[in-house]
Amino acid sequence: MSKGQVDRRQVLAGAMAGGSALGVWLDSPALGATTAAAGPRLEDPIERARIFAKVKGSCAEETVYTFCRLHLYLWLNDGNLKPMLTMQNLNAGTWRPLPNGNYQGLIREVGVYTAFDTDDYVDHWINPVTQDKREIWPFFGGPLSVEIGAQGTVTGPEATLKPKEMRFDVMGDQLLLPNQSAFSFPNPFKPEQWPKEAGGPMFYWDSHYFFAASLSEVSDPKISSAQSTVQFQNLVSFHPWLGMGRTPGRTYGKGLGTKLRSLDEMPKAPRALLEKHAPQIFDLPSWQAPRLDFMEYMQRRKPG
């Protein structure tokens, strides 16, 4: 896919702003956490790398899927959040251990939009500010390569996001791995060319994540991928396809999901929607070229 007229780092940042879960893979371990008297040796950098890979993806050669429902709201700088849409989000990470002791994952991700808190597919959305009927732009992101090692997570030059890992913690039988992210970049959509799509001069993205996994699975050497719970919040500038123009505010996203032992664990309704509208996530070898929804919108909807 060509770069077009936009710097790929800027556009990748915009792709992340669609409310995706990709940012969760771009973190690095923090020290000084609370650890249990018995259990995983988190103080050991090599063991910690294996555990972090196991919780977030896998420490073996396998593909791991994570399913999340992301509920999206409008925040217009005043009043309460306004329910907007729900994204049925599926993330596929193809992991493998490396000879140097690190763990590498190749991450791909898609999202299908439904009416808020339902499994009813929608392809248009009514902008409550302008009353315009807007085409919903599909979400695709990746492939993105990450590497988890003794010194943390290393990402390629295409990864603009650099979230900061907060201290991990052990509470009861749960290992919690949180992080926080904040970044901004110049908005490539200019109001003179994109009067409905362009927002302010800067695009802002904030996101908080955590994984939670049971110590029994984390400590079990026979388990390569812990079945962890994923929870995250995003606060981002309005995506161009919303047509919010210079309306003050952002989109707030609240996601909740889990890693799957197999795709058979997915709820049937969203799986059927994803198989119909985003089949690439189930045929990973055919998805090699980078896909970024922000870039694709700019290239395909460029005013004549």
Q: How many domains does the chain have?
A: 1
Cα separation, 136 vs 87, in Å, equals 11
Q: Judge whether 289 lies within some domain.
A: yes
Q: Judge whether 96 lies within some domain.
A: yes
Q: Would you state the pLDDT for residue 300?
A: 82
Domain extent, residue 104, equals: 8-300
Cα separation, 131 vs 165, in Å, equals 40
Q: Judge whether 53 lies within some domain.
A: yes
Cα separation, 38 vs 205, in Å, equals 38
Q: Judge whether 2 lies within some domain.
A: no
Residues in contact with 164: Cβ distance below 8 Å, sequence separation at least 6, in sequence order: 27, 30, 179, 180, 181
Q: Judge whether 246 lies within some domain.
A: yes
What is the separation of C-alpha 127 from the centre of its chain, rounded to a whole number of angstroms? 24
Q: Would you state the pLDDT for residue 1?
A: 46
Q: Are 119 and 273 in contact (CB under 8 A)?
A: yes
pLDDT tens for the 304 residues of the chain, in order:
444 444 444 434 444 434 444 444 444 444 444 444 456 677 788 888 899 899 999 999 999 999 999 999 999 998 999 999 999 999 999 999 999 889 999 999 999 999 999 999 999 999 999 999 999 998 999 998 888 877 666 665 555 556 677 888 899 999 999 988 888 889 999 999 999 999 889 999 999 999 999 999 999 999 999 999 999 999 999 999 999 999 999 999 999 999 999 999 999 999 999 999 999 999 999 999 998 888 888 888 876 5
Q: Would you state the pLDDT for residue 32?
A: 43
Q: Judge whether 3 lies within some domain.
A: no
Q: Judge whether 18 lies within some domain.
A: yes
Q: Are 252 and 235 in contact (CB under 8 A)?
A: yes
Q: Judge whether 212 lies within some domain.
A: yes
